[in-house]
Amino acid sequence: MIKKEDIERAISTFKEWDHQHKWKNPSSVFIAHTKNKSENALKTAQYILRIMEDKEVRLLLNAENYNGTLWIINSAYYRILFLGQYLLALDGKKLPDHTQDSHKTTQLAIMYYFIIKGSGLEGKKDLRWDDIKESRFSKVLELMVEAQEEAQELTQQKAKKVVEYFEEERTKRHEFTYAMLTDAELNKARISIDRAIKFGDLVKEFIRIKKWG
């Protein structure tokens, strides 16, 4: 869920970053690296899904009881995260070293630089998501948040089984438990991969509009 506090944080944080010239300048190597990582993350998710869906492959790999749902959803999420970093890099922005909560910072930077800044909304008082969700690019941010929430929720649920995703109040999907049927798990995995692919398509469209590639 995109909260009013997140919007306020994005505006205040990156106004300050711009004033202090805090962004690092991404090298061509970094730009290529983030793009490659995003592509590899998606392939990883797709490969694991293939293993889980194909009985012959599972037998070949001696993985009859293998459940890679956690890694599919996490890999699909990292596909989105790395693409977000790639998009910022194309805009000349690389997170400073040792940035705290780099995942959330990337998300907020996408919101500020590609939706709010220069849109006429930056100086609006009491700015809320309803004010900016009409932006054509807002769907990218929504997909990014959904993927992050899902990956965090899943990781948290897995961990609880051992010792009893970012902040608990941000989780919004149904609780993921080991008692879920495999088909239900696979359905979540397929949705994650479809989301990652859709995110990539929207990013490519944005890059074409900006004439960055």
Token couple for 199: 């995110």
Q: Is 94 helix (H, G, I), strand (E, B) or coil?
A: strand
Q: Cα–Cα distances in Å, from 125 out to 13, 114, 128, 182?
A: 16, 19, 9, 48
Q: What pLDDT shows up at residue 56?
A: 92
Q: What pLDDT shows up at residue 75?
A: 94
Q: What pLDDT shows up at residue 23?
A: 97
pTM of the entire structure?
A: 0.82
Would you tell me how many other CB atoms lie within 10 Å of the CB of residue 95? 18
Selection from 194, 196, 156 nearest residue 173 by Cα? 156
DSSP state of 180: S
Number of residues in the chain: 213
Terminal Cα distance for the chain, rounded: 31
Q: What pLDDT shows up at residue 205?
A: 87
Question: Which residues in the chain show pLDDT less than 50?
Answer: 162-180
Q: What is the pLDDT of residues 32-81, one digit of tens each?
A: 999 999 999 999 999 999 999 998 998 999 988 888 888 999 999 999 99
